[in-house]
Amino acid sequence: MNKEKTLENLKYGEKNKVRAVSKYIAPVFLVVLLLNSRICAEAQSPIIHNDSIRFTMAFTSYSVLDSVYSPMKYHILIENQPNQIILDHYAQMDTSMIFSLLGDKNYDWATNLILYNLYDINAYMFSAFEIKTREDWIGYFQERDLALWKAFFLFKQTAEKRYWKYFQFSE
């Protein structure tokens, strides 16, 4: 009889081990699933192709508020959704990735427009020269914008933080 009880206890102990292991497997599985979904989300980053970018122009007139003069300005507004996720993604990109996109004929136009929107650079030339497509932008304006972004990011990297908020490109 003792032998039967010992076998029964062994079987009961094995059941407890299975229960104990299953208690830990579920959280581990959940963590693996979450990590996998995060990796997949990063793989499908919101980098916008030239063919899929949609934007509008907005104009703000000059104003004086508390003795601070704000000049008139043309703004590029990105219409692609989700807008904030796109802007946040580009804001977190390192400079080499941005210039890689600006040098790629499939992403240069879209990246340029997103940077104008993200850093709120005056986009008067888009209105003055009626630039609405990549073809309108190529040539002089593309080279001009590449020079603008090189100067912009050089300043951003070297300027003291306290001066960064006052930075404005004079066009």
Indicate the pLDDT class of residue 1, thresholds 50, 70 and 90.
low
d(CA 148, CA 151): 5
Q: Which range among 8-22, 63-77, 123-137 has the greatest average pLDDT?
A: 123-137
Instruction: Judge if the upstream peptide bond of residue 71 is cis by omega within 30 degrees of 0.
Output: no
Q: Are 109 and 53 in contact, with CB atoms under 8 Å apart?
A: yes
Q: What is the pLDDT of residue 69?
A: 75
User: Does the model's pTM come out above 0.85?
Assistant: no
136 CB-near residues (< 8 Å, 6+ apart): 129, 130
Q: What is the pLDDT averaged over residues 122-148?
A: 92
Instruction: Judge if the upstream peptide bond of residue 46 is cis by omega within 30 degrees of 0.
Output: no
Task: Kindly tell me if the per-residue pLDDT of 90 is higher than 60.
Answer: yes
Strand pairing report for 63-65 and 55-60: unpaired
Task: Kindly tell me if the per-residue pLDDT of 43 is higher than 50.
Answer: no
Bridge partners (DSSP) listed for residue 76: 57
Task: Kindly tell me if the per-residue pLDDT of 9 is higher than 70.
Answer: no
Q: What is the pLDDT of residue 41?
A: 45
Q: Quick one: the chain helix, strand, coil %, rounded to 5?
A: 60, 10, 25
Residue 12, both tokens = 């009961």
Q: Which range among 32-36, 68-72, 82-86 has the greatest average pLDDT?
A: 82-86
Q: What is the pLDDT averaged over residues 74-100?
A: 91
